[in-house]
Chains A and B, each alone.
Chain A
Amino acid sequence: MSARIGIVTFPGSLDDRDAARAVYLGGAEPVALWHDDTQIHSVDGVWLPGGFSYGDALRCGAIARFSQVMDTVKAAAAQGMPVLGVCNGFQVLCESHLLPGALVRNAHLRYRNRPARLRVETARTAWTSAFAPEAEVVFPAKHGEGRYVADEATLDQLEASGRVVFRYLDNPNGSMRDIAGVANEAGNVVGLMPHPEHAVEALTGPSTDGLGIVASVLAHLSEGARR
């Protein structure tokens, strides 16, 4: 039986279908979750997709944090369930305090929409375990509020504990220390701005590197099952 990855649709989510397709192409079973679901239907992992949840009102991700499904996702994350947040999903994870830091307006104030070259800085997370050390990947970036910020002490701690997961090779938005993605302490919760789900087929994406994200979580889950 293949692993079930739940993909949450908030009002205003855009990339939920692409995420579902990426999960399917990667060999897992996508499961649709709704923002006011109180249960997450025995999924093995959760993907918070990109988009503009609740119209980005107040701050990106600020309202989604209070949705029903996030209570359940938070509880599951605390138990070690793999949770990935992409773009708006990353913003939701930061607003929910599942990940440190925050994502603010791009330094140049422009919406950035182009492939981003990234270095995978650690394979010691549930969502990057299948990547070679320091692998370079290309995922499309498309965001107006993607500049990662945190105080210096937090950044130092992230670096020292190997929780910077993705780093931009050509920083598109002014993110501190070129950070494109980070993980929680346990490595089961990962957030990143660029979109692996748009890099799964040669026809439509700049690479197929995004499949490595799904392969990683599958490897992580099967390793857990063996233990």
Chain B
Amino acid sequence: MARVVVDVMLKSEILDPQGEAVLGALPRLGVTDVASVRIGKRVEIEFDENAQNVEEQSRVIADQLLANPVIESFTVSVERDPVEAA
């Protein structure tokens, strides 16, 4: 079974107010040497056992639904089945 992880991040030029809020809270933890925090989404997809073109299909899913290319970029990584890999 193929497992795919898609990471979606706001593009660097888009302000991330959630990340800013987290950054602002860090001094309360005593952490004062952080320059930037950006928050994104991680999406885990599990394909059927016999699925073909898993990476290609994942790119379509990421490009057309999981990420909005106007504001977000994404990376797709296919994780090998640990049993199969061994």
Number of interface residues of B (CB under 8 A): 12
Q: Contact at B21–A109, with CB atoms within 8 Å?
A: yes
Interface-located stretch among B11-19, B44-52, B75-83? B11-19
Q: Chain B residue with minimal CB distance to A61? A: B68
Kindly state whether residue A202 has any CB partner on chain B within 8 Å: no
Majority DSSP secondary structure for residues of A touching B = loop
Tell me the complex Cα distance, A209–B18, Å: 35
Tell me the complex Cα distance, A166–B13, Å: 24
Q: Contact at A108–B17, with CB atoms within 8 Å?
A: yes
Task: Assign chain A's interface to a size class.
Answer: 10 to 19
Chain A residue contacts of B70, Cβ below 8 A: 94, 100-102, 149-151
**Considering the complex, which residues of chain A in the window 116-160 have a beta carbon less than 8 Å from any beta carbon of chain B?**
149-151
Q: How many A-B contacts at CB < 8 Å in the complex? A: 32
Chain A CB within 10 A, most for which of B14, B17, B65, B70: B70
Kindly state whether residue B66 has any CB partner on chain A within 8 Å: yes
Kindly state whether residue A75 has any CB partner on chain B within 8 Å: no
Kindly state whether residue B71 has any CB partner on chain A within 8 Å: yes
Digitize A88-122: 1 where CB-to-B-CB distance is under 8 Å, 0 elsewhere. Answer: 00000011000011101111110000000000000
**Considering the complex, which residues of chain B in the window 12-35 have a beta carbon less than 8 Å from any beta carbon of chain A?**
13-15, 17-18, 21
Q: Contact at A149–B17, with CB atoms within 8 Å?
A: no
Chain B residue contacts of A203, Cβ below 8 A: none
Q: Contact at B66–A58, with CB atoms within 8 Å?
A: yes
Kindly state whether residue A59 has any CB partner on chain B within 8 Å: yes
A and B contact pairs by CB, cutoff 8 A, 29 listed: A58-B65, A58-B66, A59-B68, A62-B65, A62-B68, A94-B70, A100-B70, A101-B70, A102-B68, A102-B70, A102-B71, A104-B10, A104-B14, A104-B71, A105-B17, A105-B18, A106-B17, A107-B15, A107-B17, A109-B17, A109-B18, A109-B21, A149-B14, A149-B70, A149-B71, A150-B70, A151-B13, A151-B70, A174-B15
Chain A residues within CB distance 8 Å of chain B: 58-59, 62, 66, 94-95, 100-102, 104-109, 149-151, 174
Which 4 interchain pairs have the tightest Cβ spacing?
A102-B70, A102-B71, A109-B17, A107-B17
